[in-house]
Structure 1
Amino acid sequence: MFPAVASKTVEDVLFPGIAVRVERVSDASGALVVEAVSTGRPGRCPGCRKQARRVHSSYQRSLDERPLGLRRVVVRLWVRRYFCDRKWCSRRTFVEQVPGLTERHRRSSTGLTGWLRSIAVELGGRPAARLCRRLRLAAGRTRLLRLLTAPPVQGRAPRVLGVDEFAFRKGCTYGTVLVDVEAGRVVNVLPDRTSKTFAAWLKAHPGAEII
């Protein structure tokens, strides 16, 4: 006999391991609209990190999600606003974030933001925007470039340091990317490509043996 195979729910397919409950899936203007409700534990205040106990209200936020095939996916998610009960905290209320799905002030899911950031890292601005149009992803050149944030800076330079220039805007503005060659990761991004800026960084971050 064949072993029993557990049937998957909509949550398992669209939001694996994420604390949401799907209420409805519909087709609207060529996009799949997923209506969902956050089901996670009460969030922590971003100001004082105290876990909330009282719900202030709830509201629906709209998120672009990664497409299914060539179908755009929009998530309409009900989230809760909580009171912060610590008197000394500057925040009176705050909105919960759903780990793995939402980030503060973003209108795209965590997964989609990761996709867009990876595309921007590999292709830059305009080429990345052209690929996004082909993939039915709503992301222009400016939005993609804003996702490129400098990584945390180490106190010392790596032993083998790779140095290369790149264009923030081709023909106008250039920067310098510094790479740990042995680890295969970026360690810093400098705002221009001048030797003076690079020399100042080396002075502040000793340790490079091979450049």
Structure 2
Amino acid sequence: MASKTVEHVLFPGIDVRVERVSDSSGSLVEEAVSTARPGRCPDCRKQARRVHSSYQRTLTERPLGSRQVMVRLRVHRYFCDRRSCSRRTFVQQVGGLTERHRRSSVGLTDWLRAIAVELGGRPAARLCHRLRLAAGRTRLLRLLKASAVPDRAPQVLGVDEFAFRKGCTYGTVLVDVE
């Protein structure tokens, strides 16, 4: 049987290299570096070629037993070289681990969303407190309202109008026909 590396255990299928794991006051701190290929500009989708700088992001990860887990991830900021693009620099995202403007990992966000779907606001917050997950009721409810933004706009749009009550309240439905 092949031996597994620390990366395969802590980050299965994710392009990171673990540099150090330390235990500090009941929480596990994992220091990692992204090994993913340079990303694409979020606006124009052009592949990055030049590194602007690098910095360390701190992410909250799913707990390991009774320990909280923090990931200190070193990522790159890249230049967007397309002159017509309004964005000059952008940050590399690690698939399966990071999302823009999030301080928690994709895995933890999925856990919190599942708890919020099942329990709602305050009960979900109480369960998160018992599981040692830092999430209040407003954060959990915000996860329910956040809808995924499609990568592209619909090409064929269907429109239907209807009345909830005749002559009083009307509604409109927009459907991506594709």
Which residues of structure 2 form unaligned runs of 5+? Answer: 149-156
What is the CA RMSD across the aligned residues, in angstroms? 2.1
Within-5 A mapping of 1:77-116 = 77-116=73-112
Find 2:142's aligned residue among 146, 149, 153: 146
SS in 1 for 2:60: strand
CA gap of 1:17–1:91, structure 2 versus 1, over 3 A, is same
Distance 2:146 2:94 in 1: 25
Percent same amino acid among aligned pairs? Answer: 76
| TM-score (structure 1 length as normaliser) | 0.71
CA-CA distance at 1:200 after TM superposition = 3.0
Matched, 1:13 2:9: yes
The aligned length equals 161
Cα distance change on mapping 1:96 and 1:150 into 2, 3 Å: closer
Selected match of 2:131 from 126, 129, 135: 135
Q: How many angstroms apart in 2 are the aligned matches of 1:44 and 1:151?
A: 22
Structure 1 unpaired stretches of 5+: 158-194, 207-211
Q: Given the superposition, is the C-alpha separation of residues 205 and 44 from structure 1 closer, same or farther in structure 2, using an over 3 Å criterion?
A: closer
1:43-89: CA deviation from partner (whole Å, max 9, x where unpaired):
00001000000000000000000011111100000000000000110
Match of 1:43 in 2: 39
- What residue is the counterpart of 2:152 in the other structure? none
- The 3-state SS of whatever aligns with 2:4 is coil
Residue equivalent to 1:170: none
**Correspondence for 1:62:** 58
Indicate how the Cα distance of structure 1 residues 14 and 149 shifts in structure 2: closer, same or farther if over 3 A, else same.
same
CA distance in 2, matches of 1:155, 1:138: 41
Residue 200 (structure 1) aligns with: 170
TM-score, scaled to structure 2: 0.84
Match of 1:200, SS state, is strand
Q: Who wins on radius of gyration, i.e. which is larger? A: 1
How far 1:151 sits from its partner (Å)? Answer: 5.2
Q: What is the alpha-carbon distance in structure 1 between the residues aligned to residue 41 and residue 14 of structure 2? A: 20
| Aligned-partner Cα distance in 2 for 1:99–1:145 | 24
Measured in 2, the distance between the counterparts of 1:23 and 1:204 equals 51
